[in-house]
Structure 1
Amino acid sequence: MDQRNATNRPGAKHVALLAGVSTATVSRALNSPGAVDPATLQRVRDAVAQLRYVPHGAARSLRSQRSRMVGAIVPSFDYALYAKTTSALQQHLSAQGYSVVLAEHHYDLEQELHVARQLVEHGVDAFMLVGIDHDPRLFDLLDEHRRPFVLTWGVDTTGRHPYIGFDNRAAAQEVARHVISLGHERIGIVSAPVEGNDRGRERLAGFRAAIAQAGLKEPQVEHARIALHDAAAAMKKLLARKPRPTAVLATNDVLAVGAMMACRAAGISIPDDVAITGIDNTDLGATQTPGLTSVRTPIVEIGEAAAEQLVALIEGRGEARSRVMEFELVVRDSARRRLRRKDG
């Protein structure tokens, strides 16, 4: 790693020169990005990334002392499960005298990089990141400024980065195999968007793999944002197919419950007409009528383990390590054995 001293570190004037703007514009871009036009803002951000620039005052603070703050950057505040993970992280950190700084990036990995750089500038000691997919420049940033981190909610099969998570593909395969074992052959899928979302991508791949291994036809797939209304709209499209699927697999419980809403609105019985399953085993799914068959994932345990590891890394009491956690199929009444009818 480059060991340049403070006098050789890039300054705002170097960023300004590379971006072709004034130092005042650099300051506005870093502190009030909304006040700078998008093209100029992008030039400044590119220059900051190329130079690996951190304001000198923040850099001195980082070198001199810990802030006792951990950054948790999640894809979205709208998805309640990330709140459960970060709540567990906060509780365990608080007991050891640390606080959490929470940020979101809306599945935009470049925005995640920008947010992480801001948190580094404000002295955050370490990071909990969600998922395996990240801009490579993010890891360069954290390495340059010696900020420990842990990836969560997934498994980094490359072995390059420490993670605490579970096998999303295997979890999806397990619930898909359960549905297939009930005699369902026409299967539909409601999937979260997969761009910038390795969890959704791996779950969708797990569904497809189980269906292919069973020798069944390619599943009908509709994508939807993780919101009940969007999921209901996606399910409505699946129900309009001829012939319609006898079972629908959703990549999370929110999408599954949205699918159930569409069935109720159309007068379609669950599970007699259509079986529905989810993943994550949330209260939302468990309290439906019928209760949602799902996969319990270690949402809280991930936050607790991440807190323990990050504190140990910050305080020099251990090395970064990876951990694969268990999941469990939870069978309820939203999926049952296929009743053979005239439509097959």
Structure 2
Amino acid sequence: MSEQTRQVGIRDVARAAQVSTATVSRALNSPSSVSARLRDRIDAAIRDLGYIPDASARALSSRRTRTVGAIVPTVDNAMFARGLQALQSYLSGQGYLLLLATNEYDLDVELEQARNLVSRGIDGLILRGDARHPDLRRMLKTQSIPFVNVGVYDPTKPYPSVGVDNFAAGQRITRHLTDLGHRHVAIVSAIQRNNDRAQARTQGVLSVLQEVGAEPPEAWRLQVNYNLDEAKQAARVLFASDDRPTAVICGNDVIAYGVMMEAIRMGLDVPTEVSFAGFDDLDWSHHLSPSLTTIHMPTDEIWAQAGQWLVSSLDRKPAILHRELDFSLVVRDSTAPARR
């Protein structure tokens, strides 16, 4: 083989960086074990030489592939996309590769996707929520694959979780509306099947409405998919007659956009005649007219901390089993006192 076509190896990197091959190996397999200055020098040599580490050889020597899997319901959701970007950024800085799969809220599909990821040698797995196929946890335990539930906080469970208290978030947004005098409140949630976050938010909403004697009728409890068309249809159902709510709590901001825009198209004044609130605090919520009152979720921090928990677990470092992050109420123009 000629010099021009010879494959660049770890010895070439070590020679260019003026370090030992063992130091290069440590920098690749455990970046935190070498100083930042030395790591920068090795990274520069890798870039200059075009060196690509042999993943299979690294896995054989360390019994780790430095690959993490994540399964989310869908990528057609701004919150998931944003969270995955934060997770990818953190893992990349730790020298890990992220493999992604989706399950469309189907637990059987999630189980099959998890098996596929495990078969490809992932070191750990990040799962959305805590609704699981019973075989999935057994499989991960048998294969010694650590996992963390992201987006939920439930210290009563033996499985690690990083997220917010969705039940409390549902209570907080509802108390804002009941404090404004609203007693005719409808709920348009995300589809709740295999979605414990949507379930918890709705339960929190209902708990407050029950406290004030304002539990909504079944006709005012709707579930829709994450898209504007279904949200608009929900608005047509809620506002088709004179017996209509004075406020609508939506399971996320996208649903709130659709319901509110359709209500405005139908001639209702927001917020004078009807108030709207959502969850997530997406970027567009600030720019809508009227701007949307919502619950701010620390999405970037939730996903990054889930990655931190997994990396710490893989490095056999102490890690808190459950991490609760704070949500906050963001009051904007879409809510106002109820009509007398």
Q: Which runs of 5+ in 2 are unaligned?
A: 1-55
Distance in 2 between the 1:80 and 1:142 partners? 29
Tell me how far 1:317 sits from its aligned partner.
2.1
Structure 2 SS opposite 1:271: coil
Distance in 2 between the 1:241 and 1:141 partners? 52
Whether the 8 Å contact between 1:235 and 1:259 is mirrored in structure 2 is yes
Distance in 1 between the 2:241 and 2:206 partners? 19
Tell me how far 1:263 sits from its aligned partner.
1.0
Q: Match for 2:83 among 79, 82, 85?
A: 85
Q: Which is higher, the Rg of structure 1 or of structure 2?
A: 2
Distance in 2 between the 1:149 and 1:135 partners? 14
Letter in 2 for 1:276: F
Q: Which runs of 5+ in 1 are unaligned?
A: 1-57
Tell me how far 1:309 sits from its aligned partner.
1.2
Tell me how far 1:228 sits from its aligned partner.
1.0
Structure 2 SS opposite 1:329: strand
Whether the 8 Å contact between 1:231 and 1:255 is mirrored in structure 2 is yes
Match of 2:330 in 1: 330
Q: Tell me how many residue pairs correspond in the alignment.
A: 281
- % same residue: 38
Distance in 1 between the 2:124 and 2:138 partners? 14
Tell me how far 1:257 sits from its aligned partner.
0.5
Pick closer, same or farther for the CA change 1:281–1:145 going to 2, 3 Å: same
Tell me how far 1:222 sits from its aligned partner.
1.2
Whether the 8 Å contact between 1:222 and 1:238 is mirrored in structure 2 is no
Deviating 4+ runs (over 4 angstroms): 61-64
RMSD after superposition: 1.6
Tell me how far 1:80 sits from its aligned partner.
1.2
Whether the 8 Å contact between 2:246 and 2:339 is mirrored in structure 1 is no
Equivalent runs, 1:38-53 vs 2, <5 Å: none
Distance in 2 between the 1:155 and 1:137 partners? 22
Distance in 2 between the 1:73 and 1:63 partners? 28
Structure 1 SS opposite 2:248: strand
Q: TM-score, normalised by structure 1?
A: 0.79
Report Cα offsets for 1:74-114 as digits up to 9, x if no partner. Answer: 01111110111111111011011101111110000111010
Equivalent runs, 1:240-251 vs 2, <5 Å: 240-251=240-251
Letter in 1 for 2:300: V
Tell me how far 1:258 sits from its aligned partner.
0.7
Letter in 2 for 1:226: Y
Report Cα offsets for 1:18-39 as digits up to 9, x if no partner. Answer: xxxxxxxxxxxxxxxxxxxxxx
Pick closer, same or farther for the CA change 1:62–1:310 going to 2, 3 Å: farther
Report Cα offsets for 1:188-242 as digits up to 9, x if no partner. Answer: 1111111100011111111111100111143511111011111111111011244
Does 2:184 match 1:154?
no
Structure 2 SS opposite 1:113: helix
Structure 1 SS opposite 2:105: coil
